[in-house]
Amino acid sequence: GAVVSQHPSWVICKSGTSVKIECRSLDFQATTMFWYRQFPKQSLMLMATSNEGSKATYEQGVEKDKFLINHASLTLSTLTVTSAHPEDSSFYICSARDIQRIGETQYFGPGTRLLVL
Amino acid sequence: RKEVEQDPGPFNVPEGATVAFNCTYSNSASQSFFWYRQDCRKEPKLLMSVYSSGNEDGRFTAQLNRASQYISLLIRDSKLSDSATYLCVVNVGRTDKLIFGTGTRLQVFP
């Protein structure tokens, strides 16, 4: 089955640090990847849609200058949390859609836990 | 009003029990519907898609009522391993974007 990886799986950093999270589709190509955030006991919230070769589309209320997204290839999207603060501590999950499989749902990465001290 | 609403539970049921979860969605233009399962501190995993005609996968049965904008999931013969949070997921109109409900927590006890 389709596999999506994320790296790192967890990160602890000091306030003010920038953190980069990678999302890779391992055995398929994805023109579109999605970035979600999940706070404890809450649902996944879509942050942005990452489009290969073009700018990401951000959801309302998500600061594009704070959450930088780059989708440079059909198998890799990165999310950079710039100048992270404790309120950015969360579970960040990416998903990808296989461009060869029309109608298929998204495949989720295992997530990255971010703790900002 | 939330776009996807679920009863958060928890539902505590004994092994072998039948349990049903419900979900309502607000966007009548939604086209795709899913149930995902999320274990504690893990990513969500697709349990099953939900079709208008209803569909079954082993002990799991999903139903969709477009007129009422209502989705259900029935689990028969519950196993301990079914303990998880079940997320109702709907796409945004005719896009690829997914909206997740807050989930219903199920705890199956021996």
Q: Per the CB < 8 Å rule, is B98 touching A108?
A: no
Other CB atoms within 10 A of residue B25 CB: 23
Mean pLDDT, to the nearest integer, of B80-105?
A: 90
A109 touches chain B (CB under 8 A): yes
Nearest neighbour of B97 by CB, restricted to A43, A49, A109: A49
pLDDT-derived band at B2 (thresholds 50, 70, 90) equals confident
Q: Per the CB < 8 Å rule, is A43 touching B42?
A: no
Tens-binned pLDDT, residue by residue, of chain A (117 aa): 668 999 999 999 999 999 999 999 998 888 889 999 999 888 899 999 998 888 899 999 999 999 999 998 889 999 999 999 999 999 999 999 877 765 567 889 999 999 999
Given a cut of 70, is residue B24 above it in pLDDT? Answer: yes
The residue whose two tokens read 């795709």 is: B32
**pLDDT value at residue B94:** 67
**pLDDT value at residue A103:** 58
| Bridge partners, A89 (sequence order) | none
Q: Who's near A91: CB < 8 A, 6+ residues apart?
A: A37, A38, A39, A111, A112, A113, A114, B41
Nearest neighbour of B96 by CB, restricted to A32, A111, A113: A32
**pLDDT value at residue A72:** 83
∠ CA B93-B95-B100 to the nearest 5 degrees?
70
Q: Alpha-carbon distance A79 to A6, whole Å?
A: 11
Q: Per the CB < 8 Å rule, is A44 touching B96?
A: no
Residue A102 carries which DSSP code?
T
Q: Alpha-carbon distance B34 to B29, whole Å?
A: 15
Cβ contacts of A44 on chain B, cutoff 8 Å: 44, 87, 100
Q: How far is A79 from chain B (nearest CA, A)?
A: 17
**pLDDT value at residue A83:** 96
* Contact yes or no for B49/B55 (Cβ under 8 A): yes
Tell me whether strands A4-7 and A107-108 are parallel, antiparallel or unpaired: unpaired
Cβ contacts of B3 on chain A, cutoff 8 Å: none
